[in-house]
């Protein structure tokens, strides 16, 4: 099994899940997705075509009812989507990777800084969990922070790119929100420093 791929379900487990009905099978797959553990891979060179082009996590304009002003970011961790409010009940939706269980959070922050090909300094808590990580890594294609980063308030969290595009749609990070590099570049150009960012666990506004 390649690193970064979710484990296959045992045949007996899958049969039981299917016998219990589509909802049970879907719940089991959702549990597998949520518990998926993928470590960061510093040095892995990202490909240039990192844009989600099809499927539910492809960037697209969607109906989105919100009283927030255009340019506001709304993150729904449970959905694995980031929305940029456009006005007129529309938003631009991006597929994202979110924090794994125990590392998800919610709140209201502002974009305090933006960076192209940001450097990466893993916090001590992350190094304690993944001691193989470098203490510092300069920005570039092999950096897990990806092509762009938006810094969130005074927190250690960011909205950033990734050199692991296969993790989009999964709960794998230490609390940051990751997009495919092509998508985070697009987001970076649309969002100003000072923009409001609302982090929610559910879909309600």
Q: Classify burial at 135, counting beta carbons within 10 Å of its beta carbon; exposed 0-12, middle 13-18, buried 19 or more.
A: exposed
Q: How confident is the model at residue 128 (pLDDT cuts 50, 70, 90)?
A: confident
How confident is the model at residue 127, as a pLDDT?
A: 85
Of 7-11, 114-118, 137-141, least confident by mean pLDDT is: 7-11
Q: How confident is the model at residue 70 (pLDDT cuts 50, 70, 90)?
A: very high
Whether residue 99 has pLDDT greater than 60: yes
Quick one: 60-200 is in which CATH superfamily? L,D-transpeptidase catalytic domain-like (2.40.440.10)
The structural domains of the chain, with segments of one domain joined by +, span: 9-38, 60-200
Say which range, 18-32, 60-74, 86-100, 164-178, has the weakest mean pLDDT.
18-32
Q: pTM for this structure?
A: 0.75
Q: Is the pLDDT of residue 3 over 80?
A: no
pLDDT band per the 50, 70, 90 thresholds, residue 51? confident
142-154 mean pLDDT: 93
Would you place residue 119 in the very low, low, confident or very high pLDDT band (cuts 50, 70, 90)? very high
Instruction: Give the residue-averaged pLDDT of 180-197.
Output: 96
What average pLDDT does the structure give for the chain?
80
Tokens encoding 109:
């922050």
User: Quick one: pLDDT band at residue 21, thresholds 50, 70, 90?
Assistant: very low
* Three-state secondary structure readout of the chain: CCCCCCCCCCHHHHHHHHHCCHHHHHHHHHHHHHCCCCCCCCCCCCCCCCCCCCCCCCCEEEECCCCCCCCCEEEECCCCEEEEEEECCEEEEEECEEECCCCCCCEEEEEEEEEECCCECCCHHHHHHCCCCCCCECCCCCCCCCCEEEEECCCCCEEECCCCHHHCCCEEECCCEECCHHHHHHHHHHCCCCCEEEEECCCCC
Q: Stretch 181-196: mean pLDDT, rounded?
A: 96
């Amino acid at each position: 099994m390649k690193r970064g791929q979710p484990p296959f379900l045992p045949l007996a487990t899958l049969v039981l899940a299917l016998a219990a009905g589509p909802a049970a099978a879907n719940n089991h797959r959702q549990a597998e997705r949520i518990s998926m553990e993928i470590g960061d891979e510093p040095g892995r060179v990202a490909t240039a075509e990192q844009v989600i082009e099809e499927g539910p996590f492809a960037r697209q304009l969607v109906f989105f009812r919100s009283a927030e002003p255009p340019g506001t970011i709304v993150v729904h961790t449970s959905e694995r989507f980031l929305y940029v409010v456009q006005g007129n009940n529309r938003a631009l939706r991006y597929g994202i990777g979110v924090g794994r269980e125990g590392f998800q959070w919610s709140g209201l922050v502002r974009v305090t800084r933006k960076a192209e090909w940001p450097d990466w300094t893993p916090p001590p808590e992350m190094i304690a969990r993944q001691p193989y990580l470098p203490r510092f890594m300069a920005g570039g294609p092999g950096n897990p922070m990806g092509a762009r980063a938006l810094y969130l308030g005074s927190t250690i969290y960011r909205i950033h790119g990734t050199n692991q595009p296969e993790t989009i749609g999964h709960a794998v990070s230490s609390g940051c929100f990751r997009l495919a590099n092509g998508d985070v570049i697009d987001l970076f150009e649309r969002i100003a420093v000072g923009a409001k960012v609302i982090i929610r666990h559910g879909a309600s506004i």
